[in-house]
Structures are given as C-alpha cells and as structure tokens.
Amino acid sequence: MSSSPLILYHYPASPYAEKVRLLAGYLGVSWQSVDVPIQPPREQLAILAGGYRRIPVMQCGADIFCDTAVICDEVVSRSEKDLAPCSEGASALAQRAETDVFFAAIRQGSQLKTAIGLTMMLGFKGMLAFAKDRASFAQGHGPAAQTPEIAKSVFSSFLGDLEQILQSQSYLGGQAPCLSDFRCYHPIFLAKGFKSIKEASLPTEVKAWMARMNGFGWGNYEDISGEDALVAAKSEEPRALVEGTADNPDVGRWVTVTPLDTGRVPVTGTLVSRSETRIVVARRSEDVGLCHVHFPAMGFECSIIS
C-alpha cells in the first residue's frame, strides 16, 4: 500500500464528500484537502480524472479514485481501526439511501425552499449557476424526477425504517458504526443543507444518531493547493496493480468508463486492470505524466472504443 497522503477533492456542502470526511474522522485516517468549485470547470481534476465530474474524487500519488465506493475502500485500508460489520438489513437501507432517498432529499421540498437553501449556502449567483449545471447532471435518471409528494413519501419511509433500527442500538452496525451508517447519514445531511427538512422534525432516535455521527468530525487534515496535488501526481508512478486483474482479455484496449446514473461524462483511457469490483484505466498527460484512474465495477459502464 502506498504511503502517499490521501488527497480529497471536495467542497464543504457535498453530501457524498461528507460521508468520506466523517469516515476518515472516525477511523483516524489523516488526509489532505483540495477545495473545488461546486460545479465545473475544475482544472486540476480535468487533468487527473479526464472529465469525470462527480465529487468527491480522491488522489493518492498517481492513483485517482472516482466514486465513494472505491474512495471509502481506500480510507478503510489506511486505518488500524475496524468498522463494525454491516447486516443485510443495514446494507439494503444504505443502498436505498444512495439511490431513491438521495434524490428525495432534494425533491421533497418546494422549488422556492430549495432555492432559498441554495442561496444561503452559495449566494444568489452561486444558486443560479448550480441550478443551471444540475439541470443536465441527472437528466434521464428516474429517481431524480420524483414529484414532491413521492419524494416526501420516500424520505419519510427511509427515516421510519432508520428509526426502527436505531431504537434498539446506537448505530446500524450495533454499538459501533458500520459503513452503512455513513452511507445513510449523507442524504439527511443533504436534506438539511437544502432546507427540505428541519432538524426538529427528525425522529428522536435519528436526531441522536445524527449528532453521534457528526461528532466524529473530519479528523486530522490539512489544506493544500490543487497545484501541490498535481506535483504529487507527477512525482510518483501508479501503484502496482492487484495480481490477476491485468489478465482480463480487454486489458490494453482503449475504453471509456461512464457512470450509469448521473454525471454521465465518459472518461477515456487504456484499460489496465479489471476485476469483479474495480475498473482501472491509464491516462497520460504532459502536466502529470501517467496516472491510473480507479472506478467501481458496479454502477459504471466500461465500453471498448473500436
């Protein structure tokens, strides 16, 4: 495993980044922070990740990790502390949290309340820019088109199921958090940021759980510049690939890797590794040299360019 620092590209209001930040805080994993704009252009990330537009992204030397599924794996691998195991029920609830519930967090409020919440976070011009950018971000993705009525039902059902579990234990993992705790936290964090729910309206057990999760904080981190992060990528070579993953018959082919749900911007590169859980493509640029960009196999489409 590389000893290079973990560098997180994020912005404070990002719910998916909050999942990673709290996980690092709980596990005691130090990291470096690069603040990025809430919407593109993001110049350093364009160089490193080839147009991938979802936040957060994590860097470790010349390895770039896209999507929190692989980012969380990297954070967990750095810790001497263990997460509690996730039960089948907790994993299923977390899967809901990252699909229908995530979009319900946004859609359950009126457009006016959403606009007010965004303006409070980003300012008026920032709210307009965000709305314009996100109009195409989730286009064609069913859960993103929920009506406010459906969204309220989806979110309320999620909170009820979460409360039921928490009535008998402190976390979804029992007396200690499992990964599902962090996955379920972030859509509520999002709803609060968008002002689509009030904290006072949360079920008592959920409110107490939110306070415990928030108490982990972001841990030990330091701010660095995007330019410093590019220097870190240029000064290192990508880490060794997992044994056997370069045996896939498509390795060496020119491919695109594209998210299946939102932010469907393809990343182009040479496939260097593929397993049941991860896709890795190589990209080379004059700015940083060779980088390996990692994606989870689930939720992404890898297409060969003929």
Three-class SS of residue 256? strand
Structure tokens at 204: 């008592």
Considering only CA atoms, which of 34, 45, 1, 33 is closest in space to residue 288? 45
Write the pLDDT tens digit of every residue in 145-187. 688 899 999 999 999 999 999 999 999 999 999 999 999 999 9
Mean predicted confidence (pLDDT) in 228-233:
97
What span, in angstroms and rounded, lies between the C-alpha atoms of 278 and 264?
A: 18
Write the pLDDT tens digit of every residue in 114-149. 677 677 767 777 677 767 666 666 666 566 668 889
What span, in angstroms and rounded, lies between the C-alpha atoms of 248 and 53?
A: 27
Residue 24 has pLDDT above 80, yes or no: yes
Mean predicted confidence (pLDDT) in 94-110:
90
Structure tokens at 84: 């509690």
Three-class SS of residue 86? coil
- Per-residue burial over 5-15, b if 16 or more Cβ lie within 10 Å, else e, is bbbbbbbebbb
What span, in angstroms and rounded, lies between the C-alpha atoms of 171 and 286?
A: 47
The identity of residue 262, as a single letter, is: T
Structure tokens at 175: 């007396």
3-state secondary structure string across 264-280: CCCEEEEEEEECCCEEE
| Residues 220 and 48: beta-carbon distance below 8 Å | no
Domains and CATH numbers, the chain: 6-81+220-304 (3.40.30.110), 88-214 (1.20.1050.10)
| Residues 242 and 275: beta-carbon distance below 8 Å | yes
pTM for this model (two decimals)? 0.93
Considering only CA atoms, which of 49, 9, 65, 101 is closest in space to residue 296? 65
Q: Exposed, middle or buried: residue 17 (CB in 10 Å: 0-12, 13-18, 19+)?
A: buried
Helices (H) and strands (E) in the chain, counts: 10, 10
The identity of residue 198, as a single letter, is: K
What span, in angstroms and rounded, lies between the C-alpha atoms of 48 and 269?
A: 11
Considering only CA atoms, which of 257, 301, 302, 292 is closest in space to residue 74? 292
| Residues 234 and 44: beta-carbon distance below 8 Å | no
Instruction: Round the average pLDDT of the chain to a whole number and report it.
Output: 92
Per-residue pLDDT band at 2 (split at 50, 70, 90): low
Considering only CA atoms, which of 214, 210, 174, 193 is closest in space to residue 82? 174
Write the pLDDT tens digit of every residue in 67-96. 999 999 999 999 999 999 999 999 999 999
Report residue 112 CA to chain centroid gap: 27
What span, in angstroms and rounded, lies between the C-alpha atoms of 295 and 258?
A: 9
The identity of residue 169, as a single letter, is: Q
Report residue 156 CA to chain centroid gap: 23
